[in-house]
Structure 1
Protein backbone atom coordinates (compact mmCIF):
# COMPACT_ATOMS: atom_id res chain seq x y z
CA UNK A 1 0.00 0.00 0.00
CA UNK A 2 1.48 3.35 -0.97
CA UNK A 3 1.82 6.13 1.57
CA UNK A 4 -0.80 8.17 -0.24
CA UNK A 5 -3.37 5.37 -0.32
CA UNK A 6 -2.65 4.60 3.36
CA UNK A 7 -3.19 8.26 4.21
CA UNK A 8 -6.42 8.37 2.22
CA UNK A 9 -7.65 5.20 3.94
CA UNK A 10 -6.83 6.62 7.36
CA UNK A 11 -8.51 9.94 6.57
CA UNK A 12 -11.58 8.14 5.24
CA UNK A 13 -11.79 6.06 8.41
CA UNK A 14 -11.37 9.17 10.54
CA UNK A 15 -14.09 10.97 8.58
CA UNK A 16 -16.45 8.03 9.14
CA UNK A 17 -15.73 8.07 12.86
CA UNK A 18 -16.23 11.83 13.08
CA UNK A 19 -19.47 11.59 11.11
CA UNK A 20 -20.93 9.10 13.62
CA UNK A 21 -23.57 10.52 15.93
CA UNK A 22 -22.10 12.06 19.09
CA UNK A 23 -24.05 9.75 21.41
CA UNK A 24 -22.39 6.70 19.80
CA UNK A 25 -18.87 8.11 20.28
CA UNK A 26 -18.28 6.18 23.50
CA UNK A 27 -19.53 2.96 21.88
CA UNK A 28 -16.81 2.88 19.21
CA UNK A 29 -13.96 0.54 20.11
CA UNK A 30 -10.72 1.19 18.25
CA UNK A 31 -7.55 -0.88 18.28
CA UNK A 32 -4.10 -0.67 16.77
CA UNK A 33 -1.51 -3.32 15.85
CA UNK A 34 2.17 -2.52 15.24
CA UNK A 35 2.81 -4.64 12.14
CA UNK A 36 6.55 -3.99 12.14
CA UNK A 37 6.78 -5.25 15.70
CA UNK A 38 4.79 -8.34 14.76
CA UNK A 39 7.22 -9.02 11.90
CA UNK A 40 10.17 -8.63 14.29
CA UNK A 41 8.93 -10.34 17.46
CA UNK A 42 6.17 -12.82 16.65
CA UNK A 43 7.18 -16.46 17.07
CA UNK A 44 6.40 -17.34 13.42
CA UNK A 45 8.47 -14.34 12.25
CA UNK A 46 11.42 -15.37 14.41
CA UNK A 47 11.16 -18.94 13.09
CA UNK A 48 10.99 -17.63 9.52
CA UNK A 49 14.10 -15.50 10.07
CA UNK A 50 16.04 -18.48 11.45
CA UNK A 51 14.86 -20.61 8.55
CA UNK A 52 16.08 -18.00 6.07
CA UNK A 53 19.44 -17.67 7.82
CA UNK A 54 19.93 -21.44 7.61
CA UNK A 55 18.72 -21.59 4.01
CA UNK A 56 21.12 -18.83 2.87
CA UNK A 57 24.04 -19.66 5.17
CA UNK A 58 26.20 -21.40 2.54
CA UNK A 59 25.76 -18.61 0.02
CA UNK A 60 26.58 -16.00 2.65
CA UNK A 61 29.74 -17.89 3.62
CA UNK A 62 30.74 -18.15 -0.06
CA UNK A 63 30.39 -14.37 -0.44
CA UNK A 64 32.49 -13.82 2.68
CA UNK A 65 35.14 -16.18 1.31
CA UNK A 66 35.19 -14.31 -2.00
CA UNK A 67 35.51 -10.95 -0.22
CA UNK A 68 38.50 -12.22 1.75
CA UNK A 69 40.03 -13.61 -1.44
CA UNK A 70 39.61 -10.24 -3.18
CA UNK A 71 41.12 -8.40 -0.24
CA UNK A 72 44.11 -10.76 -0.20
CA UNK A 73 44.56 -10.36 -3.97
CA UNK A 74 44.48 -6.57 -3.68
CA UNK A 75 47.00 -6.56 -0.85
CA UNK A 76 49.24 -8.93 -2.80
CA UNK A 77 49.05 -6.73 -5.92
CA UNK A 78 49.86 -3.60 -3.91
CA UNK A 79 52.71 -5.34 -2.09
CA UNK A 80 54.26 -6.73 -5.28
CA UNK A 81 53.39 -3.87 -7.65
CA UNK A 82 56.98 -2.76 -8.19
CA UNK A 83 58.37 -6.28 -8.73
CA UNK A 84 55.71 -7.52 -11.18
CA UNK A 85 56.24 -7.29 -14.91
CA UNK A 86 53.63 -5.37 -16.89
CA UNK A 87 52.12 -8.55 -18.31
CA UNK A 88 51.93 -10.19 -14.84
CA UNK A 89 50.41 -7.04 -13.36
CA UNK A 90 47.78 -6.88 -16.14
CA UNK A 91 46.99 -10.58 -15.68
CA UNK A 92 46.53 -10.09 -11.92
CA UNK A 93 44.38 -6.99 -12.50
CA UNK A 94 42.25 -8.91 -15.02
CA UNK A 95 41.87 -11.82 -12.57
CA UNK A 96 40.94 -9.34 -9.82
CA UNK A 97 38.36 -7.63 -12.08
CA UNK A 98 36.80 -10.94 -13.10
CA UNK A 99 36.52 -12.07 -9.49
CA UNK A 100 35.06 -8.68 -8.50
CA UNK A 101 32.40 -8.93 -11.24
CA UNK A 102 31.63 -12.52 -10.25
CA UNK A 103 31.24 -11.51 -6.62
CA UNK A 104 29.02 -8.54 -7.48
CA UNK A 105 26.79 -10.79 -9.60
CA UNK A 106 26.56 -13.37 -6.81
CA UNK A 107 25.81 -10.65 -4.22
CA UNK A 108 23.02 -9.25 -6.40
CA UNK A 109 21.52 -12.71 -6.94
CA UNK A 110 21.84 -13.45 -3.22
CA UNK A 111 20.02 -10.23 -2.25
CA UNK A 112 17.28 -10.80 -4.83
CA UNK A 113 16.74 -14.41 -3.75
CA UNK A 114 16.85 -13.51 -0.06
CA UNK A 115 14.35 -10.67 -0.52
CA UNK A 116 12.01 -12.91 -2.50
CA UNK A 117 12.15 -15.67 0.13
CA UNK A 118 11.78 -13.15 2.98
CA UNK A 119 8.68 -11.71 1.31
CA UNK A 120 7.25 -15.23 0.91
CA UNK A 121 7.91 -16.11 4.55
CA UNK A 122 6.65 -12.80 5.94
CA UNK A 123 3.53 -13.01 3.80
CA UNK A 124 2.60 -16.19 5.68
CA UNK A 125 3.31 -14.47 9.00
CA UNK A 126 1.11 -11.53 8.00
CA UNK A 127 -1.70 -13.87 6.98
CA UNK A 128 -1.57 -15.56 10.38
CA UNK A 129 -1.37 -12.19 12.14
CA UNK A 130 -4.38 -10.86 10.24
CA UNK A 131 -6.38 -13.97 11.19
CA UNK A 132 -5.38 -13.52 14.84
CA UNK A 133 -6.34 -9.83 14.68
CA UNK A 134 -9.74 -10.75 13.27
CA UNK A 135 -10.33 -13.32 16.03
CA UNK A 136 -9.35 -10.78 18.71
CA UNK A 137 -11.48 -8.07 17.08
CA UNK A 138 -14.55 -10.29 16.96
CA UNK A 139 -14.04 -11.71 20.47
CA UNK A 140 -13.49 -8.31 22.06
CA UNK A 141 -15.99 -6.47 19.84
CA UNK A 142 -13.64 -3.96 18.19
CA UNK A 143 -15.24 -1.74 15.58
CA UNK A 144 -11.99 -1.04 13.76
CA UNK A 145 -8.33 -2.00 14.11
CA UNK A 146 -5.64 0.03 12.37
CA UNK A 147 -2.27 -1.31 11.34
CA UNK A 148 -0.64 1.89 10.09
CA UNK A 149 -1.13 5.22 11.83
CA UNK A 150 0.79 8.40 12.43
CA UNK A 151 -0.05 8.46 16.13
CA UNK A 152 -1.71 6.10 18.57
CA UNK A 153 -2.26 5.93 22.26
CA UNK A 154 -0.84 2.92 24.10
CA UNK A 155 -4.39 2.44 25.42
CA UNK A 156 -5.59 1.10 22.04
CA UNK A 157 -2.46 -0.92 21.15
CA UNK A 158 -3.35 -4.63 21.00
CA UNK A 159 -0.01 -5.76 19.56
CA UNK A 160 0.80 -7.78 22.71
CA UNK A 161 -2.45 -9.73 22.32
CA UNK A 162 -1.60 -10.54 18.71
CA UNK A 163 1.94 -11.58 19.64
CA UNK A 164 0.51 -13.87 22.31
CA UNK A 165 -1.99 -15.34 19.85
CA UNK A 166 0.82 -15.99 17.37
CA UNK A 167 2.96 -17.61 20.08
CA UNK A 168 0.36 -20.32 20.55
CA UNK A 169 0.77 -23.23 18.16
CA UNK A 170 -1.46 -22.90 15.07
CA UNK A 171 -4.75 -24.76 15.21
CA UNK A 172 -4.87 -27.91 13.09
CA UNK A 173 -6.97 -27.61 9.99
Structure 2
Protein backbone atom coordinates (compact mmCIF):
# COMPACT_ATOMS: atom_id res chain seq x y z
CA UNK A 1 0.00 0.00 0.00
CA UNK A 2 2.87 2.37 0.86
CA UNK A 3 4.42 1.62 -2.51
CA UNK A 4 1.18 2.55 -4.28
CA UNK A 5 1.04 5.93 -2.52
CA UNK A 6 4.70 6.54 -3.32
CA UNK A 7 4.12 5.84 -7.01
CA UNK A 8 1.00 8.03 -7.07
CA UNK A 9 2.91 10.82 -5.34
CA UNK A 10 5.73 10.66 -7.89
CA UNK A 11 3.28 10.63 -10.79
CA UNK A 12 1.68 13.84 -9.57
CA UNK A 13 5.08 15.51 -9.48
CA UNK A 14 5.73 14.73 -13.15
CA UNK A 15 4.33 17.51 -15.34
CA UNK A 16 1.77 16.47 -17.93
CA UNK A 17 3.15 15.63 -21.34
CA UNK A 18 3.51 18.79 -23.43
CA UNK A 19 2.48 21.10 -20.63
CA UNK A 20 4.74 24.15 -20.47
CA UNK A 21 3.53 25.59 -17.20
CA UNK A 22 0.35 26.48 -15.45
CA UNK A 23 -2.77 27.08 -17.48
CA UNK A 24 -3.45 30.80 -17.85
CA UNK A 25 -7.06 31.91 -17.78
CA UNK A 26 -8.60 35.20 -18.86
CA UNK A 27 -12.06 36.57 -18.18
CA UNK A 28 -13.96 38.82 -20.58
CA UNK A 29 -17.40 40.36 -20.27
CA UNK A 30 -18.57 40.45 -23.88
CA UNK A 31 -21.66 42.47 -22.94
CA UNK A 32 -19.46 45.24 -21.52
CA UNK A 33 -17.25 45.10 -24.62
CA UNK A 34 -20.32 45.61 -26.81
CA UNK A 35 -21.68 48.43 -24.64
CA UNK A 36 -18.43 50.34 -24.23
CA UNK A 37 -16.71 49.84 -27.58
CA UNK A 38 -16.84 52.48 -30.31
CA UNK A 39 -18.99 50.26 -32.55
CA UNK A 40 -21.26 49.33 -29.67
CA UNK A 41 -21.78 52.92 -28.57
CA UNK A 42 -22.48 53.90 -32.18
CA UNK A 43 -25.03 51.11 -32.55
CA UNK A 44 -26.82 51.92 -29.29
CA UNK A 45 -26.97 55.60 -30.22
CA UNK A 46 -28.55 54.72 -33.59
CA UNK A 47 -30.82 52.20 -31.87
CA UNK A 48 -31.97 54.86 -29.41
CA UNK A 49 -32.67 57.28 -32.28
CA UNK A 50 -34.69 54.59 -34.05
CA UNK A 51 -36.70 54.01 -30.87
CA UNK A 52 -37.34 57.73 -30.45
CA UNK A 53 -38.43 58.06 -34.08
CA UNK A 54 -40.90 55.18 -33.73
CA UNK A 55 -42.13 56.53 -30.41
CA UNK A 56 -42.71 59.96 -31.97
CA UNK A 57 -44.63 58.41 -34.87
CA UNK A 58 -46.82 56.44 -32.47
CA UNK A 59 -47.32 59.47 -30.24
CA UNK A 60 -48.47 61.51 -33.25
CA UNK A 61 -51.05 58.85 -34.04
CA UNK A 62 -52.16 58.76 -30.37
CA UNK A 63 -52.58 62.54 -30.45
CA UNK A 64 -54.63 62.25 -33.62
CA UNK A 65 -56.80 59.64 -31.89
CA UNK A 66 -57.22 61.84 -28.80
CA UNK A 67 -58.22 64.83 -30.92
CA UNK A 68 -60.79 62.80 -32.87
CA UNK A 69 -62.12 61.27 -29.66
CA UNK A 70 -62.58 64.72 -28.07
CA UNK A 71 -64.23 65.95 -31.23
CA UNK A 72 -66.56 62.95 -31.19
CA UNK A 73 -67.47 63.45 -27.51
CA UNK A 74 -68.18 67.14 -28.09
CA UNK A 75 -70.37 66.51 -31.12
CA UNK A 76 -71.95 63.15 -30.28
CA UNK A 77 -75.35 64.60 -29.37
CA UNK A 78 -75.59 66.74 -32.49
CA UNK A 79 -74.41 64.11 -35.00
CA UNK A 80 -76.62 61.99 -37.18
CA UNK A 81 -76.58 58.25 -36.56
CA UNK A 82 -74.57 57.67 -39.77
CA UNK A 83 -72.00 60.32 -38.87
CA UNK A 84 -71.70 58.87 -35.34
CA UNK A 85 -71.05 55.38 -36.74
CA UNK A 86 -68.53 56.79 -39.20
CA UNK A 87 -66.61 58.55 -36.41
CA UNK A 88 -66.70 55.43 -34.23
CA UNK A 89 -65.28 53.39 -37.11
CA UNK A 90 -62.55 56.01 -37.62
CA UNK A 91 -61.66 55.83 -33.93
CA UNK A 92 -61.58 52.03 -34.01
CA UNK A 93 -59.37 52.09 -37.11
CA UNK A 94 -57.00 54.55 -35.45
CA UNK A 95 -56.86 52.32 -32.38
CA UNK A 96 -55.97 49.34 -34.58
CA UNK A 97 -53.33 51.42 -36.39
CA UNK A 98 -51.77 52.43 -33.08
CA UNK A 99 -51.62 48.82 -31.86
CA UNK A 100 -50.19 47.69 -35.20
CA UNK A 101 -47.59 50.47 -35.14
CA UNK A 102 -46.57 49.47 -31.61
CA UNK A 103 -46.26 45.79 -32.56
CA UNK A 104 -44.34 46.60 -35.75
CA UNK A 105 -41.99 48.92 -33.89
CA UNK A 106 -41.30 46.27 -31.24
CA UNK A 107 -40.67 43.58 -33.86
CA UNK A 108 -38.35 45.87 -35.83
CA UNK A 109 -36.57 46.91 -32.66
CA UNK A 110 -36.09 43.29 -31.56
CA UNK A 111 -34.85 42.31 -35.02
CA UNK A 112 -32.34 45.16 -35.15
CA UNK A 113 -31.04 44.36 -31.67
CA UNK A 114 -30.72 40.62 -32.34
CA UNK A 115 -29.02 41.20 -35.69
CA UNK A 116 -26.55 43.63 -34.13
CA UNK A 117 -25.76 41.35 -31.19
CA UNK A 118 -25.21 38.44 -33.56
CA UNK A 119 -22.85 40.57 -35.65
CA UNK A 120 -20.96 41.73 -32.54
CA UNK A 121 -20.51 38.14 -31.35
CA UNK A 122 -19.10 37.12 -34.74
CA UNK A 123 -16.71 40.08 -34.76
CA UNK A 124 -15.60 39.60 -31.16
CA UNK A 125 -14.51 35.96 -31.54
CA UNK A 126 -11.33 36.72 -33.52
CA UNK A 127 -10.61 39.83 -31.40
CA UNK A 128 -10.81 37.85 -28.17
CA UNK A 129 -8.63 35.15 -29.70
CA UNK A 130 -6.02 37.75 -30.74
CA UNK A 131 -5.95 39.28 -27.25
CA UNK A 132 -5.65 35.81 -25.71
CA UNK A 133 -2.73 34.98 -27.97
CA UNK A 134 -1.01 38.31 -27.24
CA UNK A 135 -1.42 37.73 -23.50
CA UNK A 136 -0.51 34.04 -23.85
CA UNK A 137 -3.76 32.89 -22.28
CA UNK A 138 -4.94 29.30 -22.60
CA UNK A 139 -8.61 29.68 -21.67
CA UNK A 140 -11.02 32.61 -21.96
CA UNK A 141 -14.25 32.57 -19.98
CA UNK A 142 -17.12 34.93 -20.75
CA UNK A 143 -18.46 36.63 -17.65
CA UNK A 144 -21.91 38.10 -18.02
CA UNK A 145 -25.49 37.80 -16.82
CA UNK A 146 -25.80 34.25 -18.19
CA UNK A 147 -22.55 32.93 -16.72
CA UNK A 148 -22.20 31.01 -13.50
CA UNK A 149 -18.86 32.59 -12.71
CA UNK A 150 -18.96 33.52 -9.05
CA UNK A 151 -15.58 35.17 -8.49
CA UNK A 152 -12.45 36.10 -10.37
CA UNK A 153 -9.47 38.28 -9.62
CA UNK A 154 -9.41 41.51 -11.64
CA UNK A 155 -5.93 40.69 -12.94
CA UNK A 156 -7.41 37.97 -15.19
CA UNK A 157 -10.09 40.30 -16.61
CA UNK A 158 -9.19 41.12 -20.22
CA UNK A 159 -12.38 43.06 -21.01
CA UNK A 160 -10.58 46.41 -21.34
CA UNK A 161 -7.90 44.89 -23.59
CA UNK A 162 -10.61 43.41 -25.82
CA UNK A 163 -12.43 46.77 -26.01
CA UNK A 164 -9.17 48.48 -26.99
CA UNK A 165 -8.40 45.86 -29.67
CA UNK A 166 -11.99 45.92 -30.98
CA UNK A 167 -11.93 49.72 -31.15
CA UNK A 168 -8.82 49.53 -33.33
CA UNK A 169 -10.96 47.88 -36.01
CA UNK A 170 -13.56 50.67 -35.77
CA UNK A 171 -11.22 53.49 -36.71
Structure 1 length as normaliser, TM-score? 0.69
Question: Highest CA radius of gyration, 1 or 2?
Answer: 2
1:95 is displaced (CA, Å) by 0.9
The match for 1:96 among 55, 67, 91 is 91
- Report the alpha carbon displacement of residue 35 of structure 1 after superposing the two structures with TM: 2.1
SS in 2 for 1:152: coil
Query: Structure 1 residues 124, 69: closer, same or farther in 2, change over 3 A?
Result: same
2:59 and 2:36 mapped to 1: Cα distance? 28
3-state secondary structure, aligned to 2:77? coil
Aligned-CA RMSD value: 3.0
CA contact (8 A) 1:45 1:122 kept: no
SS of 2:127's partner is: helix
- Structure 1 gaps, min length 5: 1-20
Deviations, residues 44-77 of structure 1 (Å, cap 9, x unaligned): 1122233445567654432221122123333444
SS at match of 1:83: helix
Per the alignment, residue 10 of structure 1 pairs with: none
- Written as runs of structure 1 = structure 2, the 5 A alignment for 1:35-46 is 35-46=30-41
Alpha-carbon separation, structure 1, partners of 2:136 and 2:45: 35
Number of the residue aligned with 2:102: 107
Residue in 2 that maps onto 1:139: 134
Runs (5+) with no aligned partner, structure 2: 1-11
Q: Supply the distance in 1 between the matched residues of 2:153 and 2:38 (Cα, whole angstroms).
A: 22
Q: How many residues align?
A: 149
The match for 1:32 among 22, 27, 35 is 27
Q: Give secondary structure in 1 for the equivalent of 2:137.
A: coil
Question: SS where residue 26 of structure 2 aligns?
Answer: strand
Tell me which moved more, 46-55 or 126-135.
Answer: 46-55
TM-score norm. by structure 2 comes to 0.70
Distance 1:72-1:152 versus aligned 2 partners, 3 A rule: farther
SS at match of 1:27: coil
C-alpha separation in 2, matches of 1:84 and 1:101: 26
Match of 2:3 in 1: none
